[in-house]
Structure 1
Amino acid sequence: MKATGIVVEYNPFHNGHLYHARQSKIETGADVIIAVMSGQFLQRGEPAFADKWTRTEMALLNGIDIVIELPYVYATAQASDFAKGAIALLSAIGCESFCFGSEEGAIHPFLRTYELLNGQREQYEQKIHEAVQTGISYPKAMNRAYNALTGNSDGYADLTQPNNILGYHYIDEAKKMGSPMSPHTIQRIAANYHDPIDKGLTIASATGIRQAFFEEGSMKEIANYMPVPSLLSLQEFNRQYHAFGSWEQFYPMLRYSILKERPAQLKRFSEVTEGIENLIFEAAAKEHEFEGFIGRVKSKRFTRTRIQRMLTHIYTGFTWDQLRSFQTPSYLRLLGMSEKGKRYLNQQKKNMGLPLISRAANLTDPMGKLDIHASSMYLLGIGAKDLKKEFTSPPLYFG
C-alpha cells in the first residue's frame, strides 16, 4: 500500500481541509493518507479550538486513514522545527510522499528556492542576522534576506505567505534528512490563512471560522464551511465542555502562571528572551482580559505569534533546558485509524523507523511525558473534570 503524508492542525477540520486531503491522494496516487496532527497546543502558540481526540475523529470521518500526533516540542515551535518533527514522523511511518497546501500551488518554485538557499545558506543566515539587528521581527528579517538573494526574480516561491513558508521548510527538512519522500503541493483555494469568512463561499480559513464562532457564539455561523461530521463532532465537544479552546478561555490560568513567578524567573521558559519577561509580568498584573494583555506586549519586534508561543510555554512550564534536550522525535503516537489505515500499519510494523505507541502509559521518555503534561494542562484550561483523559482514551478506530 502506497502512503502519502500531510501535516495538519484541523483547528477545526473544514471544507478546505477536505479538498486538501482528497487532492493529495489524487496528486500522489496514494492508497492511504496519513496525517501528522498537532496535539493540544498549536504552531501559532494557541490552545486548540477542540481537543486532539475530537479533531482526530473529524479527520477519520472525512477520509484520513491514520492520525499520528506531532509532539508538543515540535507542534509549538517556529516553522523549521515544526517541519523537522513532522517530516521525521512521516518518513518513519513509511510515507512515499508528502503533500502540502500552498499559496504557490506548484512544486517547482519551492525546489528552485531550496537550491538557492541551500547553496547560499551561510550568506542567507548572515543577512537574517543583520536584518534582525535593525529591530525588525524575525519573519520580516527572513523575507528581507530572501529578497536580497533572489533579487525579487520570478520563479521562486513567495515566502511572505504562511503556507509557502511551511512548504519550503518541509522540503528543506526532508532534504537535510535524506528522506526518499517526494514533495508535492496543491493550490490553496478560496480563502487565505487570515481571511474572515465570506458568506458567498463554502470554503473559509480555520482562523475565519473560529473568529466567526467566537463573535456570534453560534454553530449556524460556521455550518456552511464544514463537513457535517466535523460540525457534529464540534457540537459534541461543546456539549461536553461548554467551551472551546482559546486564550480568552485559558487567560485566568495563564495569568496565574505568570504572576506566581518573579519576572526574572520567567526567563527560564522557552522562547522568553530579550527582557520581555518584565513586560509580560507587568501586562498580566494590569490586564483582566487576554486581548488587553496581548495588546500591551506585542510590538514590531515581538509579533503576536512569537509572544503566544512564549505564553504557551509559560503556561505548560516548558523550559529552555527542556527544549535544548530534544533533538528528534522518539516515537509515533497513534491517535486514530481507519480500517485501511489499520491494514497499512500491520503491513509496515516491521519497517517503521520509530516505535508505534498507542497507549499513553507507554510514553515513558521525557518527550512523551511532556506530551502527557501538556494535554493535562489543556484539559485544565478547557474546564475538564477528568485530567487523565490521556490514559483513558485509546486510539480511535473507524472500521
Structure 2
Amino acid sequence: MKAVGIIVEYNPFHNGHRHHAEQARISSGADLVIAVMSGQFLQRGEPAFTDKWKRTQMALDAGIDLVIELPYVYATAQAADFAKGGIALLDAIGCDSFCFGSEQGTIDPFLNSLQLLTEQSDNYQQLIHDAIQTGISYPKALNNSYLTLTGKQPNFADLTQPNNILGFHYLEAAQNLGSSMKPLTIQRIGANYHDSIETGLPIASATGIREAFFKGDSVDELSTYMPESSIALLKKAQDEYSCFGSWEQFYPLLRFTILRAGPEQIKHYAEVTEGIENLIYQSAKTADNFESFISLVKSKRFTRTRIQRMLTHIYTGFTWSMLRSFDSPTYVRLLGMSNSGKHYLNHKKKNITLPLISRAADLGDPMGKLDIHATTMYLQGMGSVHLKKEFTTPPIYRG
C-alpha cells in the first residue's frame, strides 16, 4: 500500500484541512493518508482548542486513515524542530511521500531554496548572527539573511509566509534524515494562516475560527467553515469540558506556576533566555488576565509566539536540560485509524523502524512520560476531573 504523510495540528479541523488531505491523496496517488498530529500543546505555544482525541476523531471522520501523535518536545518546538519530528515519524512509518499546503503552491522553488542554503550554509549562518546582533528577533534575522542571499528572485520560495517556512523546514528535515520520501506541495486556498473569518467564504483559518468563537460566535455559527462531524465533536467537547483551550482559560494556573517558581527557577525552563525570566515574573504579579500579561512581555526582540512557547514549557515544567536530552522521536504513538489504516499497519508492521505504541502504559521512556505529563497538565487546565484519560482512552477506530 502506498501512503502519503501530512503534518498537522487540526486546531480545530476545518474545510481547508479536508481539502489538504484530499489533494495530498490525489497528487501523490496514495492509497491512504497518514497524519502526524500535535498533541495537547501546539507549535505556536498554545493549549489545543480541544483535546487530541476529539481532533483525531475529526480527522478520521473526514477521511484520514492513520493519526499518530507528534511528541510534545517537537509539537511545541520552533519550526525546524517541529519539522524534524514530524518528518522522522512519517519516514519511520513508511510513507512514500509527504505533502504540505503552501502559499507558494509548487515544489521547485523550495528545492531551489534548499539547494542554495545548503551550499551557502556558512555564509547564511554568519548573516543570521550579524542580524541578531542588531537587536531584531530571530525570525526577522532569518528572513533578512535569506533575502540577502536570494535577492527576492522568483525561482526561490517566499519564506516570509508561514506555511512556506514550515514547508522549507520539512524539505530540510527530510534531506538531513536521508529520507527517500518524495516532497509534494499544494496551493493553500481561502484564508491565510492568521486571517480572521471572512463572511461568505467556505474556508477559514483555524486561527479565525478560534477567534470567532472566543468573540462570541456559537459552535453552530462556525458550520460554514467546518465539516458537520467536526461541529458535532466540538459540541461534545463543550459538553465535556465546559470550555475550549486557550491561554485565557489556563492563565490562573500559569500565573500561579510563575509566581511560585520565581525568576531563579523560571530561567531553567526551555526557551527562556536573556534575562526575560525577570520580566515574566514581574508581569505575572501585575496582570490579572492573559492578554494584559502578554502585552507586558512581548517586544520586537521576543515575539508573541516565542513567549508563548516559553510559557508552555514553564506551565508543563519542561527544562533546558530536558530539551537537550532528546535527539529524535523514539516511538510511533497511534491515536486513531480507519479500516485502511488498520490494514496498512498489519501489512507494514515489521518495517516500521520505531516501536509502535497504542497504550499510554507502554510510553515508558522519558519522551513518552513527558507526553503523558503534558496531557495531565492540559486536562487540569481544562478543568477535567478525569486526569488519567491518557490511560483510559484506546486508539480510535473508525470502521
The normalised TM-score by structure 2 is: 1.00
Shift of 1:221: 2.8
Report the residue type matching 2:59 in the other structure: A
Structure 1 match to 2:277 = 277
Report the residue type matching 2:215 in the other structure: E
CA distance in structure 1 between the aligned counterparts of 2:391 and 2:134, rounded to whole angstroms: 48
Structure 1 match to 2:109 = 109
Report the residue type matching 1:315 in the other structure: Y
CA distance in structure 2 between the aligned counterparts of 1:241 and 1:143, rounded to whole angstroms: 40
CA distance in structure 2 between the aligned counterparts of 1:77 and 1:165, rounded to whole angstroms: 14
Matched, 1:397 2:397: yes
Query: Any residues of structure 2 matched to 1:36-185 within 5 Å, and which?
Result: 36-185=36-185
Report the residue type matching 2:65 in the other structure: D
CA distance in structure 1 between the aligned counterparts of 2:363 and 2:166, rounded to whole angstroms: 28
Deviates more, 1:1-10 or 1:218-227: 218-227
Structure 1 residue matching 2:364: 3-state secondary structure: coil
Structure 2 residue matching 1:20: 3-state secondary structure: helix
Structure 1 match to 2:355 = 355
Shift of 1:216: 1.2
Matched, 1:31 2:31: yes
Shift of 1:217: 4.2
Structure 2 match to 1:220 = 220
Is the CA contact (8 Å cut-off) linking 2:372 and 2:390 kept in structure 1? yes
Shift of 1:262: 1.9
Structure 2 residue matching 1:255: 3-state secondary structure: helix
Is the CA contact (8 Å cut-off) linking 1:104 and 1:187 kept in structure 2? yes
Report the residue type matching 1:265 in the other structure: Q
Is the CA contact (8 Å cut-off) linking 1:67 and 1:335 kept in structure 2? yes
Shift of 1:71: 0.1
Shift of 1:264: 1.7
Deviation digits for residues 31-89 of structure 1 (CA, Å, limit 9, x no counterpart): 01000000000000000000000000000000000000000000000000000000000
Is the CA contact (8 Å cut-off) linking 1:258 and 1:314 kept in structure 2? yes
CA distance in structure 1 between the aligned counterparts of 2:384 and 2:145, rounded to whole angstroms: 46
What runs of 5+ residues in structure 2 fail to find an aligned partner? none
Is the CA contact (8 Å cut-off) linking 2:269 and 2:320 kept in structure 1? yes
Is the CA contact (8 Å cut-off) linking 1:212 and 1:221 kept in structure 2? no
Structure 2 match to 1:22 = 22
Structure 2 match to 1:13 = 13
Query: Any residues of structure 2 matched to 1:265-304 within 5 Å, and which?
Result: 265-304=265-304
Query: Any residues of structure 2 matched to 1:326-365 within 5 Å, and which?
Result: 326-365=326-365
Structure 1 residue matching 2:351: 3-state secondary structure: coil
CA distance in structure 1 between the aligned counterparts of 2:257 and 2:126, rounded to whole angstroms: 37
CA distance in structure 2 between the aligned counterparts of 1:392 and 1:122, rounded to whole angstroms: 50
Aligned residues: 399
Identity of aligned residues (%): 67
Structure 2 match to 1:192 = 192
The normalised TM-score by structure 1 is: 1.00
Matched, 1:4 2:10: no
Is the CA contact (8 Å cut-off) linking 2:220 and 2:231 kept in structure 1? no
Structure 2 match to 1:309 = 309
Structure 1 match to 2:383 = 383
CA distance in structure 1 between the aligned counterparts of 2:50 and 2:220, rounded to whole angstroms: 17
Is the CA contact (8 Å cut-off) linking 1:100 and 1:185 kept in structure 2? yes
CA distance in structure 2 between the aligned counterparts of 1:69 and 1:128, rounded to whole angstroms: 32
When the two chains are superposed, the root-mean-square deviation of aligned CA atoms in Å is: 0.5
Report the residue type matching 1:156 in the other structure: F
CA distance in structure 1 between the aligned counterparts of 2:160 and 2:387, rounded to whole angstroms: 40
Structure 1 residue matching 2:261: 3-state secondary structure: coil
Shift of 1:220: 2.9
Deviates more, 1:256-265 or 1:372-381: 256-265
Shift of 1:190: 1.1
Is the CA contact (8 Å cut-off) linking 2:14 and 2:206 kept in structure 1? yes
